[in-house]
Amino acid sequence: MLELLGNALLTVLHWKYLLPLFAGTFAGVVGGALPGVTITMTIIVLLPFTYGLDPLAGLAAMTGVYVGGSAGGLITACLLGIPGTPSAIATTFDGFPMARKGQPGRAVWLGVWSSFFGGLVGGLFLILVTGPLAAIALAFGPWEYFSLFILAMAMVAGLAESSLIKSLISTAIGLLITIIGTDPIGAVPRFTFGSAFIGGGFPFLPVLIGIFAFAQIMGDIEKMRQPSAAGEAAVKRPSLSVAHLKVIGEILARPFLFLWSVLVGILIGVLPAIGGSAASVLAYDQAKKISRTPELFGTGHPEGVIASEASNNANVGGSLVTIMAFGIPGDAVTAVMLGAMTIHGIQSGPLFVSQNPGLAYGIYAAYILAHLLMVVIIWSSTFFVLRLTSVRLAVLAPIVLVLCVIGAYALNNTMDSVYVLLIFGVFGYALVKAGFPLAPLILGLILGDQIEVNLIRAVMSDANPWLFLTRPISGGLLIAAALSVVLAVWQHLRHQKRTAGEDEADF
Amino acid sequence: MRLGRDGIAGLIGLAVSLSLLPQAFGLPKLPIVPVGPGFYPVIVLVFLAVTSAVLVVQDVVAQRQAAERAGREEAPAASGRAYGLVGGAFVVVGAYVGLLPYLGYRIATTLFVAAFQLLLERPSTLRQWIIFAVIAFGTTAVTYVLFEQYLSVLLPRGRWTDW
Amino acid sequence: MRKLVLTLTAAAIAVGFAAPAGAQFPDRPVKMIVPWAAGGDTDNIFRPLAPLLQKQLGQPIVIANVTGASGTVGAREAKGSPADGYTIYAMHDYIHLVHYAGLTDVTYKDFEPICLVSATPSVLTASPKTPWSDWKGLVADAKKRPGEISVGATLGSTSHIFPASVEKAAGIKFKYVSYDGLAPRMNAILGGHIDLTDSNLTQKGKVDAGQLKFIAIASEKRDPEMPNVPTLKELGINIVFEVVRGLVVPKGTPPAVRAKLGDACAKATAEPEFKEAMRKQGTRVAFLNQQDYAKFLDKIDGENKAIMTDLGLIKK
């Protein structure tokens, strides 16, 4: 295993892979730092560039985006007080106060080094656990997969911040989109109204790109006439110089907090469909509970920054485990990565690591190197990145949209995909305006076909429907799904008084 | 009975699911497969119908409560949101996508980037006009060369222009 | 703004018409539509062919994977492309099946043949968790418990038609479970969720590693790569089942252009490099020229129709 990893590291150090990895990590840091541009958005913009690359080069670029984005958010979180990406929300709680107290360097570098070490521990987990987990995944029959997907959907619907019922509707819409087109078993056309355009169904990536890109960009355009929050925090050049060893010492002096945050991040990552923002907020919450000085949280306490940043990068490692062992995306970012693999004809799943060791270890290597690159990039160009955050929307929006169009077109080399992109762009924006969370919809979209196929396979393999409950793993997963819905309902009842009509997009 | 935004959304969900259900039941059965291709869609549609109905009921209840409190809190109006711009942006993107196969990638993209910039911000000084033009032509040129030459992605050629 | 658009459009149209129409074919890149994903079996066969064709034609051959709806999206796209030789379609004999299954109106008759390229024999493959390891054991077990041995297959596709023909010839009965594509079938068969499936010699590595069992190969004679796998014919089952793939162009393509493409294909497929690439895909090079390929297409179309009628899957 070490030998494979060593070879992979040497391979990825070749410029053919290092260049895309660097570009991806850089794009990730910038995209992560830009408020309003999420990691998903960055990876969507980068997607068309990976079509023509070697599979490993493309995946290295995407891994770079994921790692870079999870760290990049902390720059704006600490220096401007705006989370650059949702997974840096918890970093603003203590990072920004610390920077305002005159320690911007300490805030940023506490975050960077926590991300770095958190990510590396996550990487260790990734390398050690993916193989064994894949062996378990092989034992998953259609019943287990079906129940796993139900669990994922139940958890995401329960986690969404707006009403539970709207999350469930969102999930149903996502599932419904995947039904349209020919059925996956016998290729019978469903709800196509005889149209050849709908006949092929709606390909996943154009739908995803349309929903995300338009909801985001149109949402930004909406607010153009409002005074921007980032503008007044115009970039002064605070000194970020700091004694790195001392900062690293600060992190390592709290091994329990650090490891606990990493663990939270990894677990949230492994669970399908729950993203980095949940990881950082949860880890922050946990840190506050176990801290000896909980009253300091929110005032620029280093523990808050460490918890949030260590967990959101560890989360990346966890998510990669899930796509590599099960072939199931953990969130929209990994869904795009999986889509990119499919374009290159690589089927992720239980056999992925054993059949494509070069690629699998290449991804591990890219993951590790991306953390080094991330530190170098932030070290050398924090201010450049901050300057980029002031690029005007009038310039950014059309370029991003052009790349989305290329991404959709080149996926299939037909205009049909571009039409799908536009249709779902309008649809996604309308849903956001109607107050529906998008995360459950995306999950429904990602898992829809798989749920149906596994359900039908189960029925075809054995006529006994009780197997879903009597097979131990499957039954356990279904019980967990039921519990998570009950829990969500219970929490909603408790919080009902406080629900305000918040209609921010939930990415 | 008054309906809010949620109520209307719920009614749409209900209408969609109820109108598709008969179609789902009407799907042919397959040989070999014990359940037909309509089996799973029926489950999803029923799920959508039920959740939509619950949303409508929730909304009706909420509206009634709100009516009782009689406008004590006015719903936050969408203040200062530039919906006109959003509409314009959709129109420009729609025109781009519609014309792309006819004008070809190079012409359509240059026009699109230019139009979109003009929509959001009108350049005033000469310097701004130069930047504006550089971005419009630059985006097209860079993406075209990069994708066609290096990434083996053939971009659409115009049916009218053959370019 | 609008005026600008109009002027630019007019100018561009003028330029378009002014371009010389009868330049020597090909004077720009040729697009090869592969209706399946990159890295799939079909893609793996045509991707090594592209650079060799390019060498003959002197222009880049760009592969465009137009995937979706059992390959019918790509077929539709190819059919709708201009018949100028700049779009060639990498066809798989699956096109006959999807047509008879009522999935698409596109048939092989919408295209003009260029050449047949390859033939990949199907191999009946079993899970390591099955109690038998040869044909005899399989048949005995299948007779003992009819309809219980499960086969993973894409319904209505070659992976279904092949075991179904075997089933009929041997007088046994299988149970089918839908697994689309070779990779998911491999996951399921290694995990023991299905007993049998159709695969090809690309899975040789897993057989050597003891993860899979090859029961029989559906070719005329044993393959030199796997000499210990018997052919179905030897076992008394008269079935030869090969997946064939070739190149076609939209109907109406000028004969001169077709001849040029046909020549290039003949030379490209004759290269030893191509033969070696095909060997790695468990495939043999099976070149046929335009006329022979046309006859061959008519023949397999009839065969496919008969099989689909037999299985009750026919809709057209």
Give domain status of residue B12, yes or no.
yes
Domain end residue (candidates: B16, B38, B69): B69
Q: Say if the Cβ atoms of A419 and B143 lie within 8 Å.
A: no
- Across the interface, of B5, B23, B100, the residue whose CB is closest to A415 is B100
Q: Say if the Cβ atoms of B31 and C9 lie within 8 Å.
A: no
pLDDT band at A495 (very low <50, low <70, confident <90, very high): low
Q: Say if the Cβ atoms of C177 and A187 lie within 8 Å.
A: no
Relative orientation angle of helices A55-79 and A89-100, to the nearest 10 degrees: 50
Q: Give per-residue pLDDT as tens, C137-170.
A: 888 898 888 888 999 987 777 888 889 888 888 8
Residues of chain C with Cβ-Cβ distance to A181 below 8 Å are: 69
Q: Would you call B141 an interface residue with chain C, using a CB distance cutoff of 8 Å? A: no
Structural domains in chain C, CATH included, are 29-120+243-311 (3.40.190.150), 123-217 (3.40.190.10)
Q: Would you call B95 an interface residue with chain C, using a CB distance cutoff of 8 Å? A: no
Per-residue pLDDT, A67: 93
Q: Which chain C residue is nearest to residue B104, measuring alpha carbons?
A: C12
Which of A227-236, C57-66, C107-116, C162-171 comes out lowest in average pLDDT? A227-236
Q: What is the DSSP letter of A188?
A: -
Question: Do B90 and B136 sit in the same domain of this protein?
Answer: yes
The domain spans of chain A are 2-495
CB neighbourhood size of A423 (10 A): 15
Per-residue pLDDT, A230: 47
Residue C89 — φ and ψ, nearest 5°?
-115, 125
Locate all alpha helices (DSSP H) within A389-471, ordered by sequence: 393-412, 415-433, 439-461, 467-470
Per-residue pLDDT, A339: 82
**Interior/surface letters C48-72, b for 16+ CB within 10 angstroms, e for the rest:** bbbebbbebbeebbbbbbbbbbbbb
Domain end residue (candidates: B39, B69, B99): B69
- Across the interface, of C13, C19, C29, the residue whose CB is closest to B160 is C13
Per-residue pLDDT, A26: 93
Q: What is the DSSP letter of B71?
A: T
Q: Give per-residue pLDDT as tens, C5-33.
A: 444 444 444 443 333 444 577 877 888 88
Q: Give per-residue pLDDT as tens, A15-63.
A: 889 999 999 999 999 888 887 778 888 888 888 888 778 889 999 999 9
Residues of chain A with Cβ-Cβ distance to C73 below 8 Å are: 200, 412, 414, 416
Residues of chain C with Cβ-Cβ distance to B32 below 8 Å are: 155, 176
ipTM of the complex in this document: 0.90
Q: Say if the Cβ atoms of A138 and C191 lie within 8 Å.
A: yes
- Nearest CA distance, A165 vs chain C (angstrom): 33
Asked if B32 and C313 touch (Cβ cutoff 8 Å), the reply is no
pLDDT exceeds cutoff 60 at A229: no
Contacts of C168 by beta carbon, 8 Å cutoff, 6+ apart: C310
The per-residue pLDDT of chain B, averaged, comes to 86
Give domain status of residue B57, yes or no.
yes
Give domain status of residue B77, yes or no.
no
Per-residue pLDDT, A287: 87
Question: Do B102 and B65 sit in the same domain of this protein?
Answer: no
Q: Say if the Cβ atoms of B104 and C12 lie within 8 Å.
A: yes
- Across the interface, of C1, C13, C64, the residue whose CB is closest to B161 is C13
d(CA C97, CA C259): 28
Mean predicted confidence (pLDDT) in A293-311: 88
Q: How many domains are there within chain B?
A: 2
Question: Do B23 and B61 sit in the same domain of this protein?
Answer: yes
User: Is the backbone of residue C200 left (phi > 0), alpha (psi -120 to 50) or beta?
Assistant: beta
Q: Extract the tokens encoding C96.
A: 């006959």
Q: Say if the Cβ atoms of C193 and A461 lie within 8 Å.
A: yes
pLDDT exceeds cutoff 80 at B72: no
Per-residue pLDDT, B114: 94
Q: Which residues of C touch A (CB under 8 A)?
A: 31, 33, 37-40, 43-44, 64-70, 72-73, 76-77, 98, 101, 103, 150, 155-156, 175-181, 183-184, 186-188, 190-191, 193-194
Residues of chain A with Cβ-Cβ distance to C186 below 8 Å are: 351
DSSP bridge partners of C245: C92, C118
Domain end residue (candidates: B42, B69, B96): B69
% of chain A with per-residue pLDDT over 70: 93
Per-residue pLDDT, B16: 92
Strand order in the sheet with C196-199: C175-178, C150-153, C196-199, C123-126, C213-217
Q: Give per-residue pLDDT as tens, B2-39.
A: 778 888 899 999 999 999 999 888 888 777 778 888 89
The residue that leads in pLDDT, C189 or B69, is C189
Per-residue pLDDT, A342: 75
Give domain status of residue B160, yes or no.
no
pLDDT band at A226 (very low <50, low <70, confident <90, very high): low
Q: Extract the tokens encoding A280.
A: 């950082």
Chains contacting B (3 or more CB pairs within 8 Å): A, C
d(CA C292, CA C246): 12
Question: Do B91 and B59 sit in the same domain of this protein?
Answer: no
Mean predicted confidence (pLDDT) in A364-374: 93
Q: Which of C33, C187, C211, C314 to mutate to test the interface with A (most CBs of A within 10 A)?
A: C187
Boundaries of domain holding B91: 83-150
